[in-house]
Homo-oligomer: A and B are copies of this chain.
């Protein structure tokens, strides 16, 4: 008998990061990193699937409700049935004829759906006894193509073309997997450059990062241009001319403002400018990209779905794809974007940080390397050092690289004691706070 999903539970977890200014940037000054989690129990003793979506505090309860709304579409399904047609499963959720109205494919419902979909992939990988990246990388191309929902993107990527791209990813996969296991996957760190940090703290963190083996780090910009000039000078001096410095404006600029502001920051040789403007603005990103080249334009942590990504690629509007593993609707939609990025020749450097995002995207980057793009050139996955202690299977970083996860599943399960402490509003921390 195949295991059947017997229940769906959603939990509101919030971590009080705003008290330390961890994660502060020009748009998000006071985040409380939060997760709306989805736990799927099954008919098989001890087999449970864990997925999550990420928010920064208020509104997390809305995502909890969104996760719960999918229960009737998930509970009662067998894993065999889902694994036989994973794309049809995804389409049934994304295409629910009433829930779809709240999107389509965007906002709270899509965030909630990502948690549900990723919990299902966690189940599939656990049942196979493999970490998610390995579970996906081992699949034949003919199966992977059945995991895709190409609705509304076939004018850029047809099913036939997707299959052909997946087949080119088969060659050398074994060698890439061996290399990945031996050397890890390249990363960069965002932990040094939050806007809320004073200059001395930034300098100390840069030195610390270099000592830990990082050769690429990201700095927040966009609140005040003179302050940015001063801080980038500090960082460039601390890391030297050859290490990589990314900068991130978190959507605070207007299109023309972004172009002007970047003129002031260009002398510090930034590797990319991230989220210069609204995440929805394909045409705006294209204008900025043309104006600031050779500095790269990156975006993606708020890029809502495959249709937006299709346009970024069609318009050649971005140089770097920073897809988010729980902003997009989970693994199925991520695979569609990975394939479109491969076709476009745009490197994927997923968004992480927050809580749980590093745990998620490490798998996605490894899938991209082993089984889709086959490339490391220009790829670096984001890393931030916070909150990993709450996970059953936390990330492992060594000398600036993610080590390949080894435990079966998708690494999104929180420790029971963390849930007890940070469940909102009734966990021990929130109940007892002043």
Contact = CB atoms under 8 A, between A and B. Distances in A.
Interface in A220-259: 251, 254-256
Interface string A314-325: 110000000000
Interface string A67-109: 0010000000000000000000000000011111111111111
Contact of A59 (B27, B99, B151, B282): B99
A100 B55 CA distance: 9
Contacts of A65: 61-62, 65
13 contacts: A57-B101, A61-B69, A62-B65, A62-B66, A65-B65, A102-B108, A104-B251, A104-B302, A107-B109, A107-B110, A280-B307, A281-B310, A281-B311
A283 B282 contact: yes
Interface stretch (A28-36, A120-128, A374-382): A28-36
A121 to B, nearest CB: 23
Given A155-B254, A283-B315, A315-B283, A57 B109 contact: no
A61 B109 CA distance: 11
Interface in A384-417: none
A31 B311 contact: no
Contacts of A315: 283
A277 interface: yes
A305 to B, nearest CB: 7
A30 B97 CA distance: 7
A90 to B, nearest CB: 16
B59 A101 contact: yes
Interface in A272-293: 277-284, 287
